[in-house]
Amino acid sequence: MDITTDTPVLVTGATGYVAGWLVKELLEAGLTVHAAVRNPNDASKLGHLNEISRRAPGTIRYFKADLLNPGSYAQAMEGCSIVFHTASPFTVNVKDPQRQLIDPAVKGTRNVLETAKDSDCVERVVVTSSCAAIYTDAIDCHAAPGGVLTEEVWNETASLSYQPYSYSKTLAEKEAWKIASGQSRFKLVTVNPSLVVGPALSKKPTSESFNIVRQMGDGTMKQGAPKLGIGAVDVRDLAKAHVAAAFSPDAEGRYIVSAYNTNLLEIGKTLIEKYGDAYPIPRNSLPKWIVWMVGPIVSGISRKFVENNVNVKWKADNSKGKRVLGITYRPLQESMEDMFEQMIQTGMFRK
Ligand code: NAP
C-alpha cells in the first residue's frame, strides 16, 4: 500500500497493543505520527514506541489526551489529514460497565470525531471498531443472512448487562457513523477485527487478548478448551489493514478483518507442535455440559454465554477487505507461536 501524505497523522490510544504495530507501519513509511496518550510522561508505556522511532525514518510526537476529556484531542489533531481512532478499553472483567466501557467508548468516539469534524485538515477517520459491533454470540451467525456475518450485519443482542464490551463497541461505532453522516469534512472507514492475536511491541501489554492466550499456557485449560466459535486475526495484518483503510482511495464503509473462522480449542491447538511438551496446552474439547456447569463458577461466564457459543460455529465473510483493501492473512499457527514465544520470554508464565 502506497502511503501518500506529507501531513502528520494522529493515532489515538498509541500505547495499545493494536496501535503499536500501526504506529510502527506509519513510522517506517516515514510519516510524522501524532501519538495521543493518556500520560506522555509514563516512560514504561512509551519505551517501545521510542525504540521504533529511533530506527525508523518517521517522527513521533506525543500529546496528552483522554477519551473522557472533551476537546483534549484538538492539539494532537492539528495539521493531521488522517485520524486513526484506536483508543477504547478492551477488558471483560468490569464492575461498572457504563463507567468502565460504555462511557469511554462512546463519549470518546464522539470526542475524537467531533474534533475531526471541526478541524480544517482531517480528510479521513479510520475507527478501530470490532466484530463485536457485528455480533455478540456465535449463535448470531446463524441468524445472519446465509448463516454468515458480513459488514451489513449489526450487533442487536449485546446490552449493558450482557456482554457489555460488545455493547460498547456497537454503540461507539453507531455514534461514529451518526457523526460522519452529518458532515462533509472527512470520510469515515471502520475496521472490524475479530480476536486479535500475535506478539505485542510493548513489554507489558494490557489487551484482553493476552489474558485469553495466557490461559492456554498457564494450566487453566489443561483439561481441554471449549469449542467456542470465534474468529482470529494477526495484529500485524490488522495494522496493515488500518493503513490500507486510510490510504486506499476506494475504501468505504466497514471492513471485517478476520483471517479464520475457528474456535478456542483450535486456536489453542496451534501451540501443541512447538510447546505441547513443556506447557499444558489444551488438546481436548471440553464437553458443553461441563462448561455449562463449571464455567460460571470458574471463569465467571454466564450459562447464556455457554449456551450461545460453545459448540456453535462462527462464520464471517472477510472477502470485502481482501478485495478492496488487499488484506492478506498469515497462518494462525505463526501468529500464535510468535505471541506465545514472546509471552514465555517476557515471563508471563512465571509463577
Ligand atoms: P489495549 O492494548 O488495551 O489498548 C487500548 C488503548 O485504549 C490503550 O492505548 C489505552 O490507553 C486506551 N484507552 C483506554 N481508555 C482510555 C481513555 N479513557 N482515554 C484515552 N485512552 C484510553 O487494547 P487493544 O487490544 O490494542 O485494543 C485497541 C482497539 O482494538 C480497541 O478499540 C479495541 O476495542 C479494538 N479491538 C481489539 C481486539 C482484540 O482482540 N485485541 C479485537 C477487536 C477490536 P492506556 O495505555 O493509557 O491505558
* Mutation probe of ligand 1 site: the residue of 24, 63, 86, 255 with most atoms within 8 A of C-beta: 86
> Residue 302 domain-assigned?
yes
Let me know how long the chain is.
351
Domain annotation covers residue 4? no
Distance of CA 303 to the CA centre of its chain: 26
Which residues does a 6 A CB cutoff place in the pocket of ligand 1? 13, 15-19, 38, 45, 66-68, 86-90, 104, 128, 130, 169, 193, 195-196, 205-207, 209
Residue 1 in this model has a pLDDT that exceeds 80: no
- 15-38 confidence digits (pLDDT tens): 999 999 999 999 999 999 999 999
Cα of first residue to Cα of last residue in the chain, in angstroms, is 43
Q: What is the rounded average pLDDT of the residues 68-93?
A: 96
- In this prediction, residue 13 has a pLDDT band, given cuts at 50, 70 and 90, of very high
By the 8 A CB rule, do 78 and 68 touch? no
pLDDT(351) > 70: no
Q: Which residues contact 227 (CB under 8 A, 6 or more apart)?
A: 263, 264, 265, 266, 285, 310, 311
Q: Which domain holds residue 86?
A: 9-345
Confidence of residue 301 (pLDDT cuts 50, 70, 90): confident
Residue type, 24: K
Relative to the CA of 87, which ligand 1 atom is closest? 7
Are 162 and 136 in contact, with CB atoms under 8 Å apart? yes
CA dihedral 287, 290, 295, 301 (to 10 degrees): 60
CATH classification of the domain holding 89: 3.40.50.720
68's grid cell: 473522557
What per-residue confidence (pLDDT) applies to 56? 97
Selection from 218-222, 227-231, 347-351 with the highest mean pLDDT: 227-231
Residue 2 included in any domain: no
- Could you tell me the pLDDT band of residue 297, with boundaries at 50, 70 and 90? confident
In whole angstroms, what is the distance from residue 46 CA to residue 113 CA?
Answer: 25
Residue 334 forms part of a structural domain? yes
Q: Is residue 138 part of a domain?
A: yes
Q: Is 347 exposed, middle or buried (0-12, 13-18, 19+ CB in 10 A)?
A: exposed
* Side-by-side strand order, sheet with 187-193: 59-64, 32-37, 9-12, 82-85, 124-128, 187-193, 253-257
> Binning pLDDT at 50, 70 and 90, where does residue 344 land?
very high
Let me know if residue 3 belongs to a domain: no
- Render pLDDT for 126-161 as a digit per residue (tens, 0 to 9): 999 999 999 999 999 999 999 999 999 999 999 999
Measured by CA distance, the residue closest to atom 4 of ligand 1 is 16
For the cut 90, the answer to whether the pLDDT of residue 51 exceeds it is: yes
Give me the percent of the chain exceeding a pLDDT of 70. Answer: 99
pTM listed for this prediction: 0.97
Question: Total domain count for the chain?
Answer: 1
Among 101, 127, 166, 207, which residue has the most ligand 1 atoms within 8 Å of its CB, making it the best to mutate? 207
Element spanning 60, H or E: strand 59-64
Under the banding of pLDDT at 50, 70 and 90, the label for residue 298 is confident
Cβ proximity of 104 and 66 under 8 Å: no
b/e per residue, 78-99, with b = 16+ CB within 10 A?
eebbbbbbbbbbbeeeeeebee
The CA dihedral of 164, 16, 82, 61, to the nearest 10 degrees, is 140
Give Cα 98 to chain centroid, integer Å. 20
* Whole-number pLDDT of residue 6: 87
- Three-state DSSP class for 53? helix
Ligand 1 pocket test, candidate residues 22, 33, 38, most atoms within 8 A of CB: 38
CA of 12 to the centre of ligand 1 (A): 9
Say how many Å lie between the CA of residue 85 and the centre of ligand 1: 10
168 Cβ neighbours under 8 A, 6+ residues apart: 88, 89, 97, 101, 102, 104, 105, 106
pLDDT at 204: 85
pLDDT bracket for residue 246 (50, 70, 90)? very high
Residue 64 forms beta bridges with which residues?
37
Task: Over range 175-200, report the average pLDDT.
Answer: 97
CA of 340 to the centre of ligand 1 (A): 20
